Amino acid sequence: MNIGYACLAIAVPASDMKSCVLRNADEARLTALIGHNLDALARLIDYNIQNGIKLFRISSDLVPFGSSLAADLPWPHLFAEKLAAIGKRIADTGMRVSMHPGQYTVLNSPDVSVAARAVQDLQYHARVLAALGLGPGHKLVLHLGGVYGNKKQAMDRFIMNFRELEPAVQNRLVLENDDGLFHIGDVLETAVAAGIPAVFDCLHHAVNPANATDAELDWIRRCASTWRKQDGAQKIHYSQQNGDKKPGAHSESIAIDAFLDFYRQLAELDVDIMLEVKDKNLSALKCINCVSGRGISGRDISILEAEWARYKYSVLEHSPEHYQAIRQLLRDKSPSADPALAMYQMIEAALALPVAAGSAVNAAQHVWGYFKDKASASEKKRFQDLMQKFVSGENSLQNVKNHLLKLGRNYQEDYLLKGYYFYIK
């Protein structure tokens, strides 16, 4: 039972994917971007290993225009060494990765040129996983596609086009329900006919259920039977509704209590859970820490202390009271104490509170403390100006944080750069 996140990580330095627009794309630029992105991927994989995260989705942006302009570039050969090294790190640590072409990769389109581009795109994604040296348990997640006025024909066309795919793609392909067209009943029927696994997506299901009667868990069990030995453990997608946005929109963070209610239902199953959530690795770590009992032994409380170190200035700017309470919580080093859930509950409660200007100033001053002895006169003046203008309402708190982030980079304050203060509101 692994829990993971998709594509990007917050507060992991130099892990961003770079891209370019089509009109600027030439062989030299694309090759340079691919090299950069592989280095970024290596950092993401290392971060995952260091933090015990064993499930991860690799961004489709790894190779910009990977299914078109870059399709014939010799990147697998040029970067063979980097690819092999990354793949070995993944395999050696038992990490499971996947890729997920988006809503614009439509294998069942009646437009043959659209379907042909979808084939190219699937080949690109499969090529990435193969270049990493990873087996067929590392999956390629796809949606069924469009309906075009006739769902049955659309499903049949998916199966027909699936059968034309090369085995290297077929072996990895898994089918996911979407939030508007194909519910999990459609997906299971199609997946069974094609002989491939089905991925159950909880939020898509909530928005687009197959019927009014069957429970979530019934569908998860049905999907389980589509996963064969060579496919690895069953995968599902889990996300929560963003209350401020339209149905189906992912939440900013995973609310831990609701997640644990869901997770306990899965106790007797062997399921890998991919979280789809804006704060990415932050929620993955939260969920992992709360289900693993990582806080239980004295040795592992260091994991929670590291998390606290990353959250603390964010908590401080929302609520000095919660800041003190969490510090108190972590002082209990008794062997039976498992403060993980309590800590994250308090962090969630704090972050849900509005930021008072006074607390924000206090937190920013704490962070400034890392630089006050080494910052130049102009850096100090800029900090003070930004702070004053924040207090008077002339600029945002984010302007202050961005200046502090820049100082953090210039003075290589790794401790700060790995914290969440600059990145979460």
What residue ranges bind DNA (CB under 7 A)?
Answer: 6-8, 16-24, 61, 68, 102-106, 109-111, 114, 117, 145-148, 181, 246, 248-250, 276, 278, 395-396, 398-399, 402-403, 406
Count Cβ atoms within 10 A of the Cβ of residue 378 and give its class: 0-12 exposed, 13-18 middle, 19 or more buried: exposed
Bridge partners for 238 per DSSP:
275
Cβ neighbours for 36, distance < 8 A, ≥ 6 positions apart: 18
Q: From the CB of 360, what's the least distance to DNA, in Å?
A: 15
Query: How many Cβ atoms are within 10 Å of 252's Cβ, its own excluded?
Result: 18
Q: Distances from the Cα of 275 to the Cαs of 37, 43, 175, 233, in angstroms?
A: 22, 20, 17, 16
Whose Cβ is closer to DNA: residue 75's or residue 158's?
158
Whose Cβ is closer to DNA: residue 180's or residue 195's?
180
Q: From the CB of 239, what's the least distance to DNA, in Å?
A: 9
Whose Cβ is closer to DNA: residue 171's or residue 399's?
399
Cβ neighbours for 35, distance < 8 A, ≥ 6 positions apart: 78, 79, 82
Whose Cβ is closer to DNA: residue 273's or residue 404's?
404
Q: From the CB of 308, what's the least distance to DNA, in Å?
A: 26
Q: From the CB of 200, what's the least distance to DNA, in Å?
A: 18
Long-range residue pairs from 399-403, CB within 8 A, at least 24 positions apart, any chain = 400/364, 401/364
Whose Cβ is closer to DNA: residue 48's or residue 109's?
109
Which residue type sits at 94?
G
Whose Cβ is closer to DNA: residue 281's or residue 319's?
281
Q: From the CB of 312, what's the least distance to DNA, in Å?
A: 23
Q: From the CB of 121, what's the least distance to DNA, in Å?
A: 8
Q: From the CB of 106, what's the least distance to DNA, in Å?
A: 4
Q: How many helices (H) and strands (E) does the chain have?
A: 18, 8
3-state secondary structure 372-410: CCCCCHHHHHHHHHHHHHHHCCCCCHHHHHHHHHHHHHH
Whose Cβ is closer to DNA: residue 23's or residue 333's?
23
Tell how far CA 381 is from the center of its chain: 38
